[in-house]
Structure 1
C-alpha cells in the first residue's frame, strides 16, 4: 500500500462519514439537553465546566486525526507478519467485531480504573462534578498514543483494520447519548443488555457503592458476567473522591495524577514500591 492509498483510507473512508454524522448528532443532543435544562431549570450545565469539556474534546479530536493514521499503519504492520487469517466484511463478521470490540473496551476501561498509570490517563474524564452530553468528550488525549495497542488482537485475528477503527468509533459515538440525566430509564430488556444513561450515571458517580462499576461501552453484559455491574438506586454524586487542585484548569485536569505518581516514585525505597506507585491500584498505600 502506497502513501496515497493510505491517506485515502484515513481521510476519505467510512470513518470520516461516521465522524461527520456523529458531530451533527452530538451538537443536536447537546442543544436539546441544554434547552430542556433551561426550560425546566435543571441546572445541568455550568459555563466553565462545559467550556473545559469542549476544549478537551477539541484537543482530543485534533490528536485523533493523526493517531488514526498511526493506528491503521500499526494494524497493517501487525497483519503483515502475524495475521492468523483473513476475515471478510460480512454481516456476521461485523457483528462479531462489535462484540469483541466491546469486550476489549470493557477490559481496557477496567484497567484504566484499576491500574494507577492508566487511571492517570483516564481520570480527566471523571473529573467533572456535572454530567451532561458535553462530558462525553471530556478526556485526556495522551491515552491515544498507546490505546490502539490494546486493539491489536483484532488485527491479528484478521479483521479489516478500517472496520476495526470504524466499529471502535461507532462505539464511542454510542456513548455520547449515555452521558445525561434527562433520560431516566430505558425499557427493561434494553437496560439488561445495553449500556444506558442510568448505568453510566453509576459509572461516573463517586458514591462508595458506585465506584469502579459499569465499564461497558455499548453492552452492559460484560459487567453482569464479570461482577462489576451496579444498578442505579440512590442519586449519583459526580466527580472524584479527590478532585484536581484546579478544577477548571485543563493542564491540572490532564496532569494532576501523573504529577502525584512522580512525587510518590521519588520517595519510593525499592523497585517494588516504584512498580506499585506506577501500576498498582490508584489507592495503593505503602
Structure 2
C-alpha cells in the first residue's frame, strides 16, 4: 500500500458516487439560492457561521481523521467482492445453476430491477442501522458525535466517529455484496447497474436534487403528500432537533415509508429548529473530546450498572436474612 495521496482527498469531491461530489454541491447551492428567492427571511447556506463556526471546524477535523484512518484500515476490512463471492458460492451450492431468470427478463428489465432493488434494500438497511444507533445506548454514544453538531452544513454528513464509520462500512459491504450475489445468481453474469456518471441512477437523482441541503440551515420542505414518501431536507434537519418532540424521528435517508411503518415519521417543521444535543459539553467540538468521550460514556454506564447490581444484591441478601 502506497503513501496517503492527494487523490484520497480530491476523490470525495470529484467522484459522482460520493455525496460531496462538486456537481451535487453546486446543485445544492443553486437550489438554496432559488429557495431564498421564494423565502427571503429563512436562513441562508452561505452564512459565515455555517462554514466557520467551532462546530463546522469540528466537522472538518473528523473528515480528515476518518480519511486517514480508513486509508490504513481499508485493506484489512471485509470487502464487498468477498461477501458477493461467498454468498454466490453458497447459492450455487444450494441450487447448482445460475441465471435461472435470465431468459425470462430482458436485459434492460434486469438492469432496472437490479438497480432499483439495490437502492431500496440499501436504503432500508441504512434506516435500520440508524435506528439501532439511536435505540442502543452504547451505539448512541458514538452516533451522538454526529448529533453534537450545533450548525449544519454539507460537511456534517461526514461528522462521524470512526467506530460508526466502521459499522456503516460493514453495513454497506454486507448488504450490497449480498444483493449483487443474489442478482448474479438469478440473472447470470450479463448484469449491469443503471448508472449516471458511474453512480446508481437513483442515488444520482437523490444527490442532484439537494441531498446536501439535509445538513444545512436551509429548510426546504416538500408538499405534505410527497413527504410521506420522500424525506425532505427540512425533515432531516428536524431529526437533528434538540426539542423532545423531535427525538428519534425521521431516521430514513431517502424513503419515508420506513419511518411511517415503524412509527418514527414526522412531517417537516417550518419554524426555526435548534439543533444539537441537550447534554452539550463546553468543549464538545474539540477533537480529543469527539474521539474519546463516547468511550468515557460507555465506561461510566458500565460502572453505574455494576454499582446498581451491587446495591440490589446487598438489598436482596438483607431481605433474605430478614425472611430467614
The TM-score, its normalising length taken from structure 1, stands at 0.72
Cα distance, 1:41 vs. partner? 6.5
Q: Which moved more, 1:24-33 or 1:208-217?
A: 24-33
Q: Deviations over 1:70-124 (max 9, x none)?
A: 55x5333333333336789712111110000000000000001111221122111
Pick aligned residue for 1:257 from 272, 294, 308:
294
User: C-alpha separation between the residues in 2 aligned to 1:41 and 1:55?
Assistant: 20
Q: For residue 128 of structure 2, what is the aligned residue in structure 1?
A: 107
Q: For residue 193 of structure 1, what is the aligned residue in structure 2?
A: 229
Does the C-alpha gap of structure 1 residues 242 and 258 become closer, same or farther in structure 2, counting only changes over 3 Å?
Answer: same
The TM-score, its normalising length taken from structure 2, stands at 0.65
Instruction: Note if 1:50 corresponds to 2:56.
Output: yes
Does the C-alpha gap of structure 1 residues 188 and 144 become closer, same or farther in structure 2, counting only changes over 3 Å?
Answer: same
Alignment of 1:173-252 (within 5 A): 175-233=211-269, 235-252=272-289
Give the superposed CA RMSD: 4.1
Does the C-alpha gap of structure 1 residues 251 and 29 become closer, same or farther in structure 2, counting only changes over 3 Å?
Answer: farther
Q: For residue 126 of structure 1, what is the aligned residue in structure 2?
A: 147
Give 3-state SS (helix, strand or coil) of 2:63's partner.
helix
Cα distance, 1:68 vs. partner? 5.2
Unmatched tracts of structure 2, length 5 or more: 2-7, 37-42, 93-97, 103-109, 185-191, 194-198, 311-324
Cα distance, 1:200 vs. partner? 0.4
Q: For residue 16 of structure 2, what is the aligned residue in structure 1?
A: 18
User: C-alpha separation between the residues in 2 aligned to 1:29 and 1:50?
Assistant: 21
Alignment of 1:53-92 (within 5 A): 53-65=59-71, 69-70=75-76, 73-83=78-88, 84=91, 90-92=111-113
Q: For residue 320 of structure 2, what is the aligned residue in structure 1?
A: none
Q: For residue 96 of structure 1, what is the aligned residue in structure 2?
A: 117
Cα distance, 1:133 vs. partner? 2.4
User: C-alpha separation between the residues in 2 aligned to 1:244 and 1:55?
Assistant: 18
Q: For residue 137 of structure 2, what is the aligned residue in structure 1?
A: 116
Q: How many aligned residue pairs are there?
A: 258
Cα distance, 1:257 vs. partner? 2.6
The 8 Å contact of residues 102 and 216 in structure 1, kept in 2 or not, is answered as yes
